[in-house]
Amino acid sequence: MRGLRHRLSTLAAASALMLASCGGGGGSGGGGSSGSPAPTPTPTPTSLYAVPAQESLSIADVETVVAHAAAEAQARSLPAVIAVTDRVGNVLTVFRMNGARATATTSAAPNGVNMDAQNLTVPAEAGAIAKAITGAYLSSGGNAFSTRTASMIVQEHFPPAPNSVGLESGPLFGVQFSQLPCSDLSARYVSSGAQAMIGPKRSPLGLAADPGGFPLYKNGVVVGGVGVMADGVYGSDPDVTDTDDDAEEYIALAGTLGFEAPDSVRANRIFVDGTSLRYSDAAYARLRASGTASFAALNGSAGALVAVRGYYGDPAPAVLAGAVYGSEASGVRPARTAEFSNRDAFVLSDGAGNNRFPIRSATDAGDVVQPLTAAEVTAVLEEAFSIMSRARAQIRQPLDSRAQVTISVVDTRGAPLGIVRSPDAPIFGTDVSLQKARTAAFFSGSHAAGDLLGSSSADVAAFVGRARTFLNDPSALTGTHAFTDRANGNLSRPYFPDGEVGRPNGPFSRPIAQFNAFSTGLQSALVVGDLAGHLGFVAGASATDTPQRCSAIAGIGAGNRIQNGIQIFPGSVPIYRGNILVGAIGVSGDGIDQDDMISFLGTHRGGQRGGGIGNAPAAIRADQIVVGLGNASVRLRYVSCPFAPFLDSASQNVCQGL
pLDDT, tens digit, for every residue of 162-187?
998 999 999 999 999 999 999 999 99
- 8 has pLDDT over 70: no
pLDDT-above-70 percentage for the chain: 93
Is residue 320 classed as helix, strand or coil in its secondary structure?
A: coil
pLDDT band at 552 (very low <50, low <70, confident <90, very high): confident
pLDDT, tens digit, for every residue of 291-333?
888 999 999 999 999 999 999 998 899 999 999 999 999 999 9
Task: Tell me the C-alpha to C-alpha distance, in Å, between residue 100 and each of 78, 318, 484, 485, 602.
Answer: 7, 20, 45, 41, 50
In a domain, 263, yes or no: yes
In a domain, 635, yes or no: no
pLDDT, tens digit, for every residue of 250-293?
999 999 999 999 999 999 999 998 999 999 999 999 999 988 88
pLDDT, tens digit, for every residue of 576-633?
999 999 999 999 999 999 999 999 999 999 999 988 999 999 999 999 999 999 889 9
- 139 has pLDDT over 80: yes
- 650 has pLDDT over 90: yes
In a domain, 501, yes or no: no
Q: List the strands of the sheet with 81-86, edge to edge.
A: 213-218, 221-229, 81-86, 91-97, 303-305
In a domain, 364, yes or no: no
Q: The domain containing residue 191 runs over which residues? A: 59-324
Cα-trace Rg, the chain: 23
In a domain, 255, yes or no: yes
Ordered alpha helix ranges (H), 495-556: 522-525, 528-539
In a domain, 224, yes or no: yes
Q: What is the CATH number of the domain that holds 203?
A: 3.30.450.150
**Regarding predicted confidence, which is higher, 31 or 437?**
437
* pLDDT for residue 41: 56
* pLDDT for residue 40: 53
Residues sharing a CB contact under 8 Å with residue 618, sequence separation 6 or more, in sequence order:
23, 24, 25, 26, 27, 29, 624
Is residue 62 classed as helix, strand or coil in its secondary structure?
A: helix
Number of independent structural domains in the chain: 1
In a domain, 208, yes or no: yes
Q: What is the pTM of this model?
A: 0.94
Residues sharing a CB contact under 8 Å with residue 508, sequence separation 6 or more, in sequence order:
463, 466, 467, 488, 491, 492, 521, 522, 523, 568
pLDDT, tens digit, for every residue of 198-254?
999 999 999 999 999 999 999 999 999 999 999 999 999 999 999 999 999 999 999
In a domain, 160, yes or no: yes
